[in-house]
Amino acid sequence: MDGLSVQISWETQELHTAQPFGIARWTHSVYPRTFVSLTHEGVTGWGEAAPNAFYGETRGTVEAVLPLLAGAISADPWDWDGLHSRLTRLMPFDHPSAKCALEMAVLEWCARRVELPVWRLLGLSPIAPIPESSYTVSLAELPEMRRQAREAVSRGHGILKVKLGTAQDEQIVEALREEAPRVALRVDANAAWTRPQAKRMLGVLEAAQVEFVEQPLAAGDLAGHAALRAVASVPIVADESLHHVSDVPALAEAFDGVNLKLAKLGGPLQALHALRLARTHGLEVMMGCMIESSLGIAAATHLAGACDWADLDGALLLADDPYTGLEWQAGTVQRPRGVGWGVERR
């Protein structure tokens, strides 16, 4: 696209995980990610689209809608409200990761234009610590999950997030608690449990001192989550139940917290809106991610200091991260110091 002196382009690159990454719905090793650039007045900003089929997006849909959505960017990249309004008119609820890539590119352009990091541009606290991130043990055969946990702990990770959603979930939790007795455990069922299965698992999670359980039931089963929450001592966190910023108020009746991901909400500004809305409804907040490069993770990191929990290991799982610049100390990522998102293409 070349209009009104704003140039927007994109390219899709296949990223590969170091090992197959499995959740209850699928196991993949290849993740197509589309990188969007916005150039104006000699300055370039970048964004990343990390589509997820659960939210109706694929590489094909991202590449198909970007030519249309790119038309929402005006000659004034500072018009953030106008950008959101135009994107919403074009696609009211669909294609959040494509919108995210455009919003990221706009924000980074603005930040680079005034030579600031994005978190500073957004007025976020420079002293709020970024929570330690969990490291994901993906769903696999039990010996492989034990190996993943053992290696993560040996690298200094103090929080493990365990993917569940099988008939062996009880054995998995018990085995990983045995494998890693001193780390914090979180579990994520990715909407795979039935109500009876979830109730049975509560005792297992409590015995293993699990910190919280993420999305135990189907995304639309708010009544089931509310009933489960009423009898659970383990906090329950929404992920798949949260598709749009407007979902947040209803989730407060069924969950203790929400997992915010830029790619499913439509970008950093939408995630920040959801974060503040969650706070007004008494919800805890986790800053999460998809499998994405350090570009997408960096964008989430800029908001993570305002959250209670972090799950930002997406780029750590890659064998071929195309971006560099994020600094990790075991499970803790440092606040990006450079301008814009603080990362650069390799």
Name residues whose C-beta falls within 8 Å of residue 144's C-beta, 6 or more positions apart in sequence: none
Mean pLDDT of the 6-26 span: 95
- Give the number of other Cβ atoms within 10 Å of residue 110's Cβ: 21
Q: What is this structure's pTM?
A: 0.96
pLDDT at 5: 84
Positive or negative CA dihedral for 112, 117, 119, 123? negative
Positive or negative CA dihedral for 246, 247, 250, 256? negative
- By percentage, how much of the chain surpasses pLDDT 90? 95
* Token pair for 285: 């907040």
Q: Are 273 and 294 in contact (CB under 8 A)?
A: no
CA angle 77/81/84 to nearest 5° reads 90
- By percentage, how much of the chain surpasses pLDDT 70? 99
pLDDT above 70: residue 231: yes
Domains in the chain with CATH codes: 2-115 (3.30.390.10), 121-345 (3.20.20.120)
pLDDT at 55: 92
Burial of 319 (0-12, 13-18, 19+ CB in 10 A): exposed
Residues present in the chain in total: 346
Query: What's the pLDDT band for 105 if we cut at 50, 70, 90?
Result: very high
Q: Are 165 and 189 in contact (CB under 8 A)?
A: yes
Mean pLDDT of the 291-297 span: 98
Query: What's the pLDDT band for 1 if we cut at 50, 70, 90?
Result: very low
pLDDT above 90: residue 240: yes
Mean pLDDT of the 124-146 span: 96
pLDDT above 60: residue 235: yes
Using alpha carbons, list the distances in angstroms from residue 223 to 213, 218, 228, 235, 245.
Answer: 17, 10, 9, 16, 20
pLDDT at 177: 97
pLDDT above 90: residue 4: no
* Token pair for 119: 């978190």
- Identity of the residue numbered 167: A
Positive or negative CA dihedral for 344, 138, 131, 228? positive
Query: What's the pLDDT band for 261 if we cut at 50, 70, 90?
Result: very high
Which helix (H) or strand (E) is 253 found in, with range? none
Of 48, 55, 16, 17, give the one whose Cα is nearest residue 33.
48
- Give the number of other Cβ atoms within 10 Å of residue 338's Cβ: 15
Mean pLDDT of the 61-83 span: 94
The distance of Cα 135 from the centroid of its chain, to the nearest Å, equals 13
Using alpha carbons, list the distances in angstroms from residue 309 to 127, 133, 259.
Answer: 16, 7, 9
Q: Return phi, psi of residue 133, to 5°.
A: -85, 145
pLDDT above 80: residue 253: yes
pLDDT above 60: residue 204: yes
Alpha helices in the chain (DSSP H): 59-69, 80-90, 96-113, 118-121, 142-154, 169-179, 195-207, 222-231, 248-251, 262-265, 268-280, 294-304
- Give the number of other Cβ atoms within 10 Å of residue 26's Cβ: 11
Torsion of CA 14, 18, 22, 28, to 10 degrees: 30
pLDDT at 304: 98
Q: Are 126 and 306 in contact (CB under 8 A)?
A: no
pLDDT at 93: 83
